[in-house]
Amino acid sequence: NSRDPTSLRTPIVAVLGHVDHGKTSLLDKIRGSAVIEGEAGAITQHIGATAVPLDIISTIAGDLVDPDDFDLPGLLFIDTPGHHSFTTLRSRGGALADIAILVVDVNDGFQPQTLEALDILKRSQTPFIVAANKIDTVPGWNVNEDMPINATYDAQSDRVSSRLDESLYKIIGNLSDEGFSADLYWRVQNFQRNVGVVPVSAMTGEGVPDLLAVMMGLSQRYMKEEMEIDVTGPGVGTVLEVKEEKGFGKTVDIVLYDGTIRADDTVVVGGQNDPIVTEVRALLQPRPLAEIRTESRFEKVDEVGAAAGIKVAAPDLGDAMAGAPVRVVRNRSLDEVVHEVRAEL
């Protein structure tokens, strides 16, 4: 644990899954737990993302996460919609992510967008775990709020726990049908070869400590080399959405995965025809405590560093494209940066 944590980037975690399986509820639960711990300000709401620092993860996960074991700064979660019409948002989220959580309702099991999300993760070779959500809906479930899964398992009757096991093994079977060798997460030795399944309830918080512990372990173990980047260099990101914003005209919501972006930077953004060269007019973050589902009120910031979700207001963004690259120019030659962006389009 000797590395300087400020030189490590926050891993980007995409939350994917079928409509209504509980992706947003899971992030709401994590945010809510921090509020209860009196740490509401520590979790920051980004454009399309939620940043959870390591000390909060450790507070929520209790004994399962010792902050001294990790030198990553935390996790940046990207929520994605499960409705079938949002395929492009899902694939963008999946492609951007370092790691992912595939949320599956234990009762509903695999559904069309579960399979679609799996395909995205396969194609982008993103390591992931499965959150088998809504375990509290198993008939007869005895709720143990916010407890790790082994503690709450022990508190269930044999009939209830074998009913849950049945649903979990069905999910493991479905994963196997799709070519993934999977098992309950506590039986997985190598998370690169096997997919861990974590039973959780976004409603009661049961299993959420385990989920956070597994995500931290996965990022620390397998992603760290990629995180060791120059976090102070010129920013690099991807456009999530192009949006009209009152008072700002066309803006781009981006996820920055490398370096920094400043309110006076020149940036190159991928466009429908050609790369767009423009000057940042404002960097906009949701105000603290803004609702996760709405992001209508913004606050101007001078600079943000990776990983972060941020809205960029700038002239000439009319032709900007969702999914396109964004690069900060700063001390580099403009031609070179334009060339890089064009090569990625």
253 binds, among Mg ion, ligand GTP, none (CB under 5 to 8 A by kind): none
**Shortest distance in whole angstroms from residue 60 CB to ligand GTP:** 16
- Residue of 262, 261, 255, 252 whose CA lies nearest to 314: 252
Q: Is 273 exposed, middle or buried (0-12, 13-18, 19+ CB in 10 A)?
A: exposed
Q: Which residues bind ligand GTP (CB under 6 A)?
A: 17, 19-25, 81-83, 133-134, 136-137, 201-203
- 109 among the known binding-site residues? no
Out of Mg ion, ligand GTP, none, what residue 21 binds, judged by CB under 5 to 8 A for its kind, is ligand GTP
Stretch that binds Mg ion, among 15-23, 141-149, 238-246, 329-337 (CB under 5 A): 15-23
Token reading at 294: 């709405």
Binding partner of residue 134 among ligand GTP, Mg ion, none, CB cut-off 5 to 8 Å per kind: ligand GTP
Q: For Mg ion, how many residues bind (rule: CB under 5 A)?
A: 2
Give the one entry of ligand GTP, Mg ion, none that residue 20 binds, where binding means its C-beta sits below a cut-off of 5 to 8 angstroms depending on kind.
ligand GTP
Judged by beta carbon, residue 146 or residue 265, the one nearer ligand GTP is 146
- Of 100 and 326, nearer to ligand GTP (C-beta) is 100
Binds 219, which of ligand GTP, Mg ion, none (CB < 5 to 8 A, cut-off by type)? Answer: none
User: Would you state the structure tokens that stand for residue 44, as one six-digit string?
Assistant: 């920051």
* Cβ-contact 322, 241 below 8 angstroms: yes
Closest contact distance (angstroms) between CB of 13 and ligand GTP is 15
Q: At its nearest, how many Å lie between Mg ion and the CB of residue 119?
A: 20
Q: Is 18 annotated as a binding residue?
A: yes
Q: Which residue's CB atom is positioned nearest to ligand GTP?
A: 82
Q: Is 302 annotated as a binding residue?
A: no
**Residues 340, 4: Cα–Cα separation, whole Å:** 30
Is residue 258 marked as binding?
Answer: no
Q: Is 83 annotated as a binding residue?
A: yes
We find the least distance from the C-beta atom of residue 275 to ligand GTP, in angstroms, to be: 33
User: Is 325 labelled as part of a ligand binding site?
Assistant: no
Please choose which of ligand GTP, Mg ion, none residue 120 contacts, taking the beta carbon within 5 to 8 angstroms, the exact cut-off set by kind. Answer: none
Angle at the Cα of 293 from the Cα atoms of 292 and 294, rounded to 5 degrees: 95
Q: Assess 50 for contact with Mg ion (CB under 5 A).
A: no
By CB under 5 A, is residue 24 in contact with Mg ion?
A: yes
Judged by beta carbon distances under 5 to 8 A according to partner kind, the member of ligand GTP, Mg ion, none in contact with residue 217 is none
Is the Cβ of residue 36 or residue 334 nearer to ligand GTP in the bound state? Answer: 36
| 19/160 with CB nearer Mg ion | 19
Q: Taking CB within 5 to 8 Å according to partner kind, which of ligand GTP, Mg ion, none is near residue 133?
A: ligand GTP
* 206/265 with CB nearer ligand GTP: 206
Return phi, psi of residue 145, to 5°.
-45, 130
Q: How far is the CB of 15 from ligand GTP (least distance, A)?
A: 8
- C-alpha 8/C-alpha 227 separation (Å) is 5
Q: Select from 314, 319, 307, 324 the least CA-distant residue to 47.
A: 307
Residue ranges of the binding site for GTP: 17-24, 79-83, 133-136
Residue ranges of the binding site: 17-24, 79-83, 133-136
Residues within the interface to Mg ion (CB under 5 A): 23-24
